[in-house]
Structure 1
Amino acid sequence: MFDKMEIFRMAQGLAVHAGTRQAVIARNVANADTPGFRAQDIADFTETYRKTGPELPLRTTREGHLPASETGLRAAAIREDDAPGEPNGNTVSLEEEMLKAAETKSKHDLALAVYRSSLGVLRTSLGRAR
């Protein structure tokens, strides 16, 4: 019964994706004045979830780890922004990065809400009150 709890894997994957994207956004903001720096972003969660392929396979290092075929997650590749930049070659727009950060925070909050709700349903089904 507990080996196929896809909702928990999906919520965890969304939270990890949001954390990774927030780190990329923070790096963009930190380099907003660096000449020649190209803004970066990662693919949307829907593009990275459920993709499988030989590019970045997950591997198990201990017996207790989940095998790659069960997780459905693939590491998100960082891609550079192709937008024209400032005269110094920098392509970071602080306004866009602020919008991306707010969107990413809401996705992280969504992942936590799904996890909490699913955990509540699981507890209720086991007959345990919160």
Structure 2
Amino acid sequence: MFDKLEILQMAQAMATHAATRQGAIAENVANADTPGYRARDLASFAETYRAGNGAPMRATRNGHLDELVEHREPEPLARARPGSESPNGNTVSLELEMVAAADVKREHDLALAIYQTSMGILRTGLGRRA
């Protein structure tokens, strides 16, 4: 019953998105000196969630939705930043990766806060202490 709550699904999707993005950032940092490597990143969680990669659509009656959107994780794509390419063709900027890593931590912390608050509300509603 509680595994179908959209707020919990959204918090899980946020945490998964943050983990996937952190992996892309780590890969960028690991390849900071690789000639020709293109820095990669994910679209923001809001864009991903609005595009149907978050909670799947639900049919409210027969024939309402002919095809349901399947949940899948977004793939990191190469990103181009003007002026960030080094002479060897590498586009990784360690400063920008550090900023992105801090942003990912904030996103992950937000996902955990949403999850913890939702669980506290559920416990209170069931008459248990948070």
Asked if these proteins are the same fold (TM beyond 0.5), I'd say: yes
Structure 1 counterpart of 2:113: 113
- Count of matched residue pairs: 118
TM-score w.r.t. the length of structure 2 is 0.81
Question: How far is the alpha carbon of 1:34 from its aligned partner?
Answer: 0.5
Contact 1:39 1:81 in 2 (8 A): yes
TM-score w.r.t. the length of structure 1 is 0.81
**Paired residue type of 2:74:** A
Contact 1:21 1:42 in 2 (8 A): yes
Structure 1 counterpart of 2:19: 19
Question: How far is the alpha carbon of 1:77 from its aligned partner?
Answer: 2.6
**Paired residue type of 2:79:** D
Contact 1:50 1:74 in 2 (8 A): no
The gaps in structure 2 that reach 5 residues or longer are 59-68
Question: How far is the alpha carbon of 1:13 from its aligned partner?
Answer: 0.5
Partner SS, residue 38 of structure 1: coil
Question: How far is the alpha carbon of 1:50 from its aligned partner?
Answer: 3.6
| Closer, same or farther: CA 128–72 of 1 in aligned 2, 3 Å | farther
Structure 1 counterpart of 2:80: 82
Contact 1:11 1:114 in 2 (8 A): yes
**Paired residue type of 1:22:** Q
The gaps in structure 1 that reach 5 residues or longer are 58-66
Whole-Å separation in 1 of the counterparts to 2:33 and 2:121: 48
Identity over the aligned pairs, expressed in percent?
56
Structure 2 counterpart of 1:39: 39
**Paired residue type of 1:39:** A
Partner SS, residue 97 of structure 1: helix
User: What does the per-residue CA deviation read over 1:48-92, in whole Å, with 9 as the maximum and x for residues that have no partner?
Assistant: 11423xxxx8xxxxxxxxx95459844213211223410000000
Whole-Å separation in 2 of the counterparts to 1:3 and 1:75: 19
Whole-Å separation in 2 of the counterparts to 1:73 and 1:9: 11
**Paired residue type of 1:24:** A
